[in-house]
Structure 1
Amino acid sequence: MAKINGNEIRPGNILEHNDGLWVAVKVDHVKPGKGGAFAQVEMKNLRNGSKLNERFRSADKVEKVRLEQKDQQFLYENDGMLVFMDNESYEQIELPADILGERRPFLQDGMTIQIEYHEEEALNATVPQKVTCKVVETEPVVKGQTAANSFKPALLDNGVKVMVPPFVGQDEDIIVNTETMEYAERA
């Protein structure tokens, strides 16, 4: 693992601090009038989700951790546990369903997702940025409604509600951006 100075911490970096693995959520570089500069870092624990605010001076050394990323295929859900298979070794692992957070409804059978490991421990999982979903319920198209920024609510087959343009109808497939939870384009 690489040691970096406290002023080199950036959002998204994974740090080993106080015997835990933390992701830097927000970093503010502060230069007070008196004394040395420091980085005020808001961190989130990757194992239990707790938060911590910490100050790092430029002379402080912290361990920067690199997580190994593996693409794994989703097989099925069993008692609140998601079962994934490694596409190379065909090994199966179980992870709690809440590892995906609010992106959980976008997980589909056979979907390949990226799981991040620290040594042998799975810490994070992300669904693809764009996922195809079917619109199961939306208002019908109103003829003559051509306002540039008019959107209407739509319910997707996975239970998620998104705003869609007026031309999208019921039973149409659309592509949803899973990071912003918004309509991206027609499928």
Structure 2
Amino acid sequence: MKINGNEIRPGNVLEHKGGLWVAVKTNHVKPGKGPAYAQVELKHVTEGTKLNERFRASETVERVRLEQNDYQFLYSEGEMLVFMDLESYEQLEISRDFVGDRAAFLQDGMQVMVESYEGKPLGVSLPDHVTLEVSEADAVVKGQTAASSYKPAVMENGVRVMVPPFIAVGEKIVVDTNELTYVKRAD
């Protein structure tokens, strides 16, 4: 679907210069002299290279619609992660590197969203919050509670997160998978 250059928003996937690009940042500029334009930072979907482009309002670009399907994480096998389509029950293998550091948050049976274009997976969206058990945490230092202080803790999946001083080993906490931060104690 064609959109004008001034309609590009962060998160849009565009077909540009023979490849697929995701708009990371957009900045609308109205110089004192000349027509207005949108300064857009683009990131190549598969290669990860970045590009800064100017799009005038009169220019049109092709916006790509990605297919979004619900998948369930089954298991990891070496460097491959195996997911199952919840509608067709077909299995999909994706490299651990493709998911990145967030692969540590995958749990058996977790439901994820896989975005694909023409059958090729482009991204995996995990739930925003995951409940994990604290496996290591530093002891509380007495008198350190006057200011809001956090201490490092290691979760059951090996990820380090800063937690409040009252969190102890064995407690379950909710962690934000996007920011890798403590949210709250699990109920």
Same fold, TM-score > 0.5, yes or no: yes
What is the Cα deviation at residue 174 of structure 1? 0.6
Aligned residue pairs, count? 186
Moved over 4 A (4+): 142-145
Partner of 2:164 in structure 1? 165
What is the Cα deviation at residue 79 of structure 1? 3.3
Note the alpha carbon deviations across 1:62-96, whole angstroms, 9 max, x for none.
Answer: 01112121110111222312111011110001111
Partner of 1:43 in structure 2? 42
Partner of 2:75 in structure 1? 76
Unaligned runs of 5+ in 2: none
Partner of 1:134 in structure 2? 133
Give the Cα–Cα distance (whole angstroms) in 1 for the partners of residues 32 and 139 of structure 2.
61
Contact 1:162-1:183 within 8 A present in 2 as well: yes
Note the alpha carbon deviations across 1:96-127, whole angstroms, 9 max, x for none.
Answer: 11222221211112211111011211100011
Letter in 1 for 2:45: L
Give the Cα–Cα distance (whole angstroms) in 2 for the partners of residues 102 and 76 of structure 1.
16
Give the Cα–Cα distance (whole angstroms) in 2 for the partners of residues 107 and 119 of structure 1.
25
Give the Cα–Cα distance (whole angstroms) in 2 for the partners of residues 50 and 56 of structure 1.
19
Partner of 1:98 in structure 2? 97
What is the Cα deviation at residue 176 of structure 1? 0.1
Give the Cα–Cα distance (whole angstroms) in 2 for the partners of residues 37 and 145 of structure 1.
54
* Paired residues for 1:1-187 under 5 Å: 2-142=1-141, 145-147=144-146, 149-187=148-186
What is the TM-score normalised by the length of structure 2?
0.94
Note the alpha carbon deviations across 1:142-161, whole angstroms, 9 max, x for none.
Answer: 55654351211111111111
What is the Cα deviation at residue 179 of structure 1? 1.2
Aligned to 2:11, what secondary structure does the other structure show? coil
Give the Cα–Cα distance (whole angstroms) in 2 for the partners of residues 53 and 155 of structure 1.
38
Give the Cα–Cα distance (whole angstroms) in 2 for the partners of residues 105 and 20 of structure 1.
30
What is the TM-score normalised by the length of structure 1?
0.94
Percent sequence identity is 60
RMSD value, Cα: 1.4
Give the Cα–Cα distance (whole angstroms) in 1 for the partners of residues 39 and 21 of structure 2.
14
Contact 1:141-1:169 within 8 A present in 2 as well: no
